[in-house]
Structure 1
Amino acid sequence: MITDEMLTTYALPVLLSGLMLYMGFIVYRLGMDSNAGKWGMFVLFIGLMVGVLGFGLKYVIKYYMEASLN
């Protein structure tokens, strides 16, 4: 049986990662459809994908904090 804790621990990061990949595809299509060019595509990805970086860094920080406490 799947508990709420198991769902949060395992499924949430996997499903959110898939959602972030889809968001990256949307940003790419937005840049291509608007003929943004290299600089415009760079700005789109930097501006709209900063949250993805924060999501990934959360797990890195969590890992190092748990390692330092043990």
Structure 2
Amino acid sequence: MFGFNEEQIAWFGLTIGVGAFMLYMIFIVAQLAWEAKAGKFGTFVLFLALAFGMVGFIAKGIIQWIIDK
């Protein structure tokens, strides 16, 4: 499709697509914290829980990059 093979499309979806989804999730959590009037500590806890998932995804990418070197 458009000159790309399946591997390139999958790479794009997993890196760019999931990265964009993570940015959207940050917006959702910020909106949730603001509407719920969570305060500083509540907002910190919400973002901390979100950050654990993001750190895992980023670590996976870094580990794959190191192994492929």
Same fold by TM (over 0.5)? yes
- CA distance in structure 1 between the aligned counterparts of 2:50 and 2:12, rounded to whole angstroms: 25
Paired residue type of 2:29: V
Match of 2:36 in 1: 34
Please point out which of 38, 49, 52 is paired with 2:51. 49
| TM-score normalised to structure 2 length | 0.86
Q: Secondary structure at the match of 2:45?
A: helix
The percentage of counterpart residues that share the same residue type is 36
Name the CA distance, whole Å, in 2 between partners of 1:12 and 1:61.
15
C-alpha RMSD of matched pairs (Å): 1.2
Corresponding pairs, count? 67
2: distance between equivalents of 1:6 and 1:66? 16
Distance 1:49 1:25 in 2: 13
Q: Give runs of ≥4 in structure 1 deviating > 4 Å.
A: none
* Kept after mapping to 2: 8 A contact 1:24/1:49: no
Where 2:4 maps in the other structure, the secondary structure is coil
